């Protein structure tokens, strides 16, 4: 029945009221109240979680059934969702589950009580059997013991109904397997799939470890606006909204960069933000229109300092999660498994070098027309896509099409053409500066980009020129010039290193997930 409920395209409320299971549970709700039991009490105070009990006592002697029956073993109080129940003569057995895991519970016909129950109307064990359903949330007070098979069990002396559910859980054997349903109804996914809960617990840990790592380096966490008058910091289509009170168009931010740089100009030395970013573009296994970014900026750093900080951050997270810097069995885009070694230092290659080594194209020996022909012949590019591309953009496309997928182990790809970004400082090497290359790196693992970083541009004259060139190149689709940002740069920004990391992709790497939807609590789905 839950499968049908979850796959209906119609509005939920009118649909589920028609199902027999809902009607049955709704009738039980009234009966429960008539029997003196409050089905939605305000509070309950557990002394331990199911997972804590298993962790602390699975390998420890706690006493027998007879000891627990007499109250001579450890007394515990837990709460959880009833996910299994079976009657066995005088006793009944069940399992309660919360975020931490499951534990077995035994209900006795003579000794188990129910909070508030009028026992003249129904016996406690009958109430549990007939009025409590799988999925209901209950509190258990009782004593620990182990069965003859060694299963840790709570001998329930008192049961408190904490929440009467009106809809059933997914089938206990088949579980919740439909991907679309799992993403749309994540609460059912978390209840049904223990591995999903572990994935999101790990995501929380990763975010915490990032914060702790940067805090130890004396970075200050800040918050900047989601709604902006002008959007910038990346090339992407924005979501557009309006402030009714001001009759003013606003944009959902596509990057965190511009406001954070303004704070560096204001005198802050090391700052970072972890926040939502919105790009009104495509959806695939590594992209979601709403995603989480980490951006950090450090005054007096350059991109080399940021490289070292980045690889140390990844290695630090791996050590804290797994006790090693080797991630086993991580899949690339083709589903091939690799053991990823995050041990520092990581390989550093220029974009040109990587294209030559991994893509077998020496772009220095190729004319613009030869690169255009290679892109049209060897990729999905159409001739009209490349005919107007400047040489620097062609070099970047050659790397993306022919080299990027081969970057399985961690690589910092350094020294990019200036056409790839208007926000990066020209290279200090005279030869590369002459070619208009910039001090930028992108980090690739498993053939996927994880980081983007610069020696930040702080020359206000060149900054305006590059932003104007970007706007002219995009024509009607140009990002509007952020005059306030150019004004801020005119008032002086110190040499600065900046970094952006997609937190969702970072979570994919450490959890071993291959789709961004599996690390987002509520990914964007077709309505």
Q: Which domain holds residue 310?
A: 194-346+409-519
Q: Which two tokens stand for residue 352?
A: 């040109």
pLDDT of residue 176: 73
pLDDT of residue 469: 82
Give mean pLDDT, residues 494-503: 98
Is residue 103 in a domain? Answer: yes
Asked if 160 and 500 count as a contact pair (C-beta separation under 8 A), the reply is no
Task: Check whether residue 302 and residue 441 sit in a common domain.
Answer: yes
Statement: residue 37 has pLDDT above 80: yes
Indicate the angle between helix axes 257-265 and 483-490, nearest 10 degrees.
30
Last residue of a domain, one of 151, 184, 217: 184
Q: Which two tokens stand for residue 140?
A: 């258990």
Cα(257)–Cα(454) distance, rounded to whole angstroms? 11
- 187 burial (CB, 10 Å; 0-12 / 13-18 / 19+) is exposed
Q: In what order do the strands lie in the sheet with 240-243?
A: 227-228, 248-252, 240-243
Task: Check whether residue 464 and residue 323 sit in a common domain.
Answer: yes
Give mean pLDDT, residues 278-291: 93
Exposure string over 451-476, b if 16+ CB within 10 A, otherwise e: bbbbbbbbebeebbebbeebeebeee
pLDDT of residue 81: 97
Last residue of a domain, one of 184, 205, 231: 184
Task: Check whether residue 210 and residue 74 sit in a common domain.
Answer: no
Give mean pLDDT, residues 33-50: 97
Report the share of the chain in percent with pLDDT over 70.
Answer: 95
Statement: residue 437 has pLDDT above 60: yes
Last residue of a domain, one of 184, 211, 233: 184
What's this model's pTM, rounded to 2 decimal places? 0.91
Nearest to 278 by CA among 231, 242, 211: 231
Measure Cα distances from 104 to 101, 140, 142, 147 in Å.
11, 11, 12, 10
Task: Check whether residue 43 and residue 103 sit in a common domain.
Answer: yes
For the stretch 188-203, pLDDT in tens is 999 999 999 999 999 9
Is residue 358 in a domain? Answer: no
pLDDT of residue 175: 61
Nearest to 125 by CA among 141, 145, 111: 111
Task: Check whether residue 438 and residue 502 sit in a common domain.
Answer: yes
Nearest to 293 by CA among 505, 479, 520: 505
Is residue 427 in a domain? Answer: yes
Asked if 342 and 326 count as a contact pair (C-beta separation under 8 A), the reply is yes
Q: Give the list of residues 6+ apart from residue 365 with CB closer than 8 angstroms, or none.
A: none
For the stretch 345-383, pLDDT in tens is 999 999 999 999 999 999 999 999 999 999 999 888 888
Name the band, by pLDDT with cuts 50, 70 and 90, for residue 17.
confident
Helix, strand, coil percent values for the chain (each to nearest 5): 40, 25, 35
Give mean pLDDT, residues 388-396: 94
Name the band, by pLDDT with cuts 50, 70 and 90, for residue 409.
very high
pLDDT of residue 14: 52
Nearest to 158 by CA among 179, 143, 145, 180: 143
Name the band, by pLDDT with cuts 50, 70 and 90, for residue 211.
very high
Helices (H), 323-458: 351-359, 368-378, 383-386, 391-402, 430-434
Q: What are the φ and ψ backbone dihedral angles of 205, each rounded to 5 degrees?
A: -65, -45
The rounded mean pLDDT for the chain is 92
Cα(30)–Cα(27) distance, rounded to whole angstroms? 6
């Amino acid at each position: 029945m839950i499968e049908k409920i979850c796959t209906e395209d119609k509005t939920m409320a009118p649909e589920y009221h028609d199902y027999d299971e809902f009607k049955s549970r709704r009738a039980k709700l009234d009966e429960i109240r008539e029997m003196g039991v409050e089905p939605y009490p305000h509070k309950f105070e557990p002394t331990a979680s199911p997972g804590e009990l298993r962790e602390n006592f699975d390998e420890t002697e706690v006493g027998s059934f007879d000891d627990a029956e007499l109250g001579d073993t450890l007394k515990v109080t837990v709460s959880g969702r009833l996910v299994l129940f079976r009657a066995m003569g005088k006793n009944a057995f069940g399992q309660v589950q919360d975020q931490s895991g499951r534990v077995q519970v035994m209900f006795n016909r003579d000794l188990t009580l129910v909070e508030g129950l009028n026992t003249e109307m129904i016996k406690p064990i009958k109430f549990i059997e007939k009025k409590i359903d799988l999925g209901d949330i209950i509190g258990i007070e009782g004593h620990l013991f182990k069965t003859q098979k060694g299963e840790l069990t709570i001998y329930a002396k008192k049961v408190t109904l904490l929440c009467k559910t009106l809809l059933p859980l997914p089938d206990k054997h088949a579980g919740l397997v439909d991907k679309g349903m799992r993403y749309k109804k994540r609460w059912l996914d978390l209840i049904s799939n223990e591995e999903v809960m572990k994935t999101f617990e790990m995501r929380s840990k990763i975010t915490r470890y990032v914060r702790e790592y940067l805090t130890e380096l004396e970075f200050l966490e800040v918050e900047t606006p989601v709604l902006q008058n002008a959007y910038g910091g990346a090339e992407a289509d924005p979501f557009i909204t309006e402030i009714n009170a001001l009759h003013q168009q606003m944009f959902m931010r596509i990057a965190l960069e511009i406001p954070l740089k303004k704070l560096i100009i204001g005198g802050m030395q090391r700052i970072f933000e972890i926040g939502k970013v919105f790009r009104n573009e495509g959806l695939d296994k590594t992209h979601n229109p709403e995603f989480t970014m980490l951006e950090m900026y450090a005054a007096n750093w350059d991109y080399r300092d940021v490289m070292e900080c980045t690889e140390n951050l990844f290695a630090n997270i791996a050590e804290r999660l797994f006790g090693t810097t080797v991630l086993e069995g991580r899949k690339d885009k083709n589903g091939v498994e690799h053991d990823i070694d995050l041990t520092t230092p990581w390989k550093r290659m220029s974009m040109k070098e990587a294209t030559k080594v991994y893509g077998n194209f020496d772009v220095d020996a190729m004319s613009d027309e030869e690169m255009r022909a290679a892109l049209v012949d060897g990729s999905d590019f159409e001739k009209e896509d490349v005919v107007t591309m400047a040489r620097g953009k062609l070099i970047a496309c050659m790397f993306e099409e022919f080299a990027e997928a081969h970057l399985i182990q961690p690589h910092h790809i350094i020294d990019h053409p200036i056409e790839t970004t208007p926000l990066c400082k020209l290279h200090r090497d005279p030869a590369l500066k002459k070619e208009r290359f910039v001090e930028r790196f992108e980090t690739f693992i498993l053939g996927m980009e994880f980081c983007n970083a610069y020696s930040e541009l702080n020359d206000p004259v060149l900054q305006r020129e590059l932003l104007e060139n970007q706007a002219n190149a995009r024509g009607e689709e140009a990002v509007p010039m952020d005059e306030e940002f150019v004004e801020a740069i005119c008032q002086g920004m110190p040499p600065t290193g900046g970094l952006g990391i997609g937190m969702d992709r970072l979570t994919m790497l450490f959890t071993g997930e291959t789709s961004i939807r599996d690390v987002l609590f509520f990914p964007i789905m077709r309505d």
